[in-house]
């Protein structure tokens, strides 16, 4: 297995069936929460900023000769998008100084996961346009949009759940 394929499949996670994208997202949530808890929110930001260009590189190299530019085994895009979504609840708890938030505030990371999967499957607006490109870049971009939408939805859901937006 080449290095780009190893990275793009997240060390083979993309070969898990059924629903490799969901497997990739689940692993991304677990690793993202672990990064946040072990090294802090700034480390999660750095990891997210590093995985995005790494994902573009690996995806481009993996599908260079392929007809299908978005094969289901490529899940590095799920990692990038899922971490963008996870940044939203992680930022809030970091701002408040809440430690071990993943235990006491599990709805935050659960919401980020559920909303990301919803937007990754639904692909509204710019996510759908990115996916329709049929390119390696589009493979990454649709999940980056889905992650952004999921992060905003997670913030809004938290606001509703905690009555902030209801006043």
Exposed/middle/buried for residue 156 (C-beta within 10 Å: 0-12, 13-18, 19+): middle
Q: Is the overall model pTM greater than 0.85, yes or no?
A: yes
3-state secondary structure at position 19 = coil
**Euclidean distance between the first and final Cα of the chain, in Å?**
55
> pLDDT for 25-60, tens place per residue?
999 999 999 999 999 999 999 999 999 999 999 999
Handedness of CA 160, 162, 164, 167 (dihedral sign): positive
> pLDDT for 125-166, tens place per residue?
999 999 999 999 999 999 999 999 999 999 999 888 877 766
Q: How many whole angstroms from its chain centre is CA 133?
A: 20
Whether residue 18 is preceded by a cis peptide bond, meaning omega within 30 degrees of 0, is yes
Q: How many residues belong to the chain? A: 167
């Amino acid at each position: 297995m080449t290095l780009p394929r190893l990275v793009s499949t997240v060390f083979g996670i993309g070969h898990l069936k059924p629903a490799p994208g969901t497997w990739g997202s689940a692993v991304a949530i677990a690793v993202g929460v672990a990064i946040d808890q072990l090294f802090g929110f700034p480390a999660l930001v750095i990891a997210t900023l590093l995985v995005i260009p790494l994902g573009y590189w690996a995806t481009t190299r993996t599908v260079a000769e392929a007809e299908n530019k978005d094969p289901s085994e490529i899940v590095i895009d799920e990692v990038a998008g899922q971490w963008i979504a996870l940044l939203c609840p992680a930022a809030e708890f970091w701002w408040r100084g809440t430690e071990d938030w993943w235990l006491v505030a599990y709805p935050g990371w659960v919401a980020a996961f559920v909303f990301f999967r919803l937007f990754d499957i639904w692909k509204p607006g710019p996510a759908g346009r990115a996916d329709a490109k049929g390119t390696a870049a589009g493979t990454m971009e649709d999940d980056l949009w889905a992650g952004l939408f999921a992060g905003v939805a997670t913030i809004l859901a938290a606001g509703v759940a905690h009555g902030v937006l209801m006043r």
